[in-house]
A and B are shown apart, each in its own frame.
Chain A
């Protein structure tokens, strides 16, 4: 149930970011909520379900972004396993850490896609713009907390188990305790 709910949610986000979000003014960049969902899945879901979802998100993104296939599933999976690996030392559930994690992950994922495109297609001239990259990172950082709340709500709808947002926590107990679905 959770798997299919989040698969559908990924499809809806991909549809929105290829249609509605393009109506936004140019200074707003290209919001990428699917990327926030990848981070959310890495933070909240178990290894099997999470890896499966992230793989399918990558395959979906692959169809609509660029013309060469295979970049996005690999980058998303690598990001997923890296986040799973370091999640023992991070509290991604808390908004204070969500923001830098999303921004830095986006920078790393974009660099990986840029480098792999440049290596695989040497004739292809891709313009790396720090300004655009910063706009994207700031935009994603700003959107990460509200989107995490929305995704938590979806998780609640599909599992009926509510994770309190970080600002509602009392601050006691083990902050590093893993809460996976």
Chain B
């Protein structure tokens, strides 16, 4: 009797496994390759991004604490009194310096916002891509602030990315150095057109530039305005190297991004209503 019960229990387990696993696989396979977040994904995105926002606030505070105080622990032995005073003034000066740097940065962003045609929105980066291959960031602005999929994202240094996914309070940005990113650009001096694609750590590569086109090291690359996503004339990068192979019609153009992607903190989203990105 007990043996029979055990077999029945075993049969039930296999039945559940046999039903749940294929169902799970079908559900996952049906989403492979899509870019849209469904409701559960949006919910998880919102939850984790809120945690990221909290953690980034805490780490920001800890970093400022570290910069302001902990680094100065080494001078404790020199003179306690002097150290206390030094600490006080250092902290004060650090505060002023940080305020000045923030002021300069925000001023630049303000000037940029004023120079851009559409209304803009400033957002803070709260999370970064955990993978080795891809380059995306999470910002603390979402659909409740008017952010929509496809909107261009810039900084005072130039083009930075594009909104890929949104939730009510957060958005995911595809950075321009991600391998999936492509922007229509032109060489500022010679007006040669091409497509800039992200190449991860290598920066950018400019594609579809004919071998007889005039492109040289040091040339500035700007957005062409074609494609309808980015406004015309935004800074993209500088040509670092051109290679003309024997075979093929096109030359290889390597471009150094104008934006330092490792130091990004704040981004400006251009609130374009008629974004063409898909």
Contact = CB atoms under 8 A, between A and B. Distances in A.
A70 interface: yes
A70 B29 CA distance: 7
A34 interface: yes
Contacts of B262: 26
A132 interface: yes
A121 B182 CA distance: 13
Contact of B130 (A11, A17, A133): A17
A30 B34 contact: no
B143 to A, nearest CB: 16
B116 interface: no
Interface residues of B, number: 53
Contacts of A22: 128
A64 B45 CA distance: 8
Interface string A1-35: 00000000001101111111011001000101010
B32 interface: yes
Nearest to B262: A26
B201 interface: yes
B98 interface: no
Interface stretch (B1-9, B52-60, B227-235, B267-275): B52-60
B179 A64 contact: no
Contacts of A114: 133
Interface residues of A, number: 50
B246 to A, nearest CB: 21
Contact of B136 (A14, A20, A48, A67): A67
A42 to B, nearest CB: 15
Contact of B179 (A11, A20, A124): A124
Contacts of A157: none
A63 B129 contact: no
Interface in B48-68: 48, 51-52, 55-56, 59, 63
A124 B35 CA distance: 15
Contacts of B201: 127, 129
Interface of B: 16-17, 21, 24-25, 28-29, 31-37, 40-41, 44-45, 47-48, 51-52, 55-56, 59, 63, 126-134, 136, 138, 164-165, 172, 174, 178-180, 182, 197-202, 205, 262
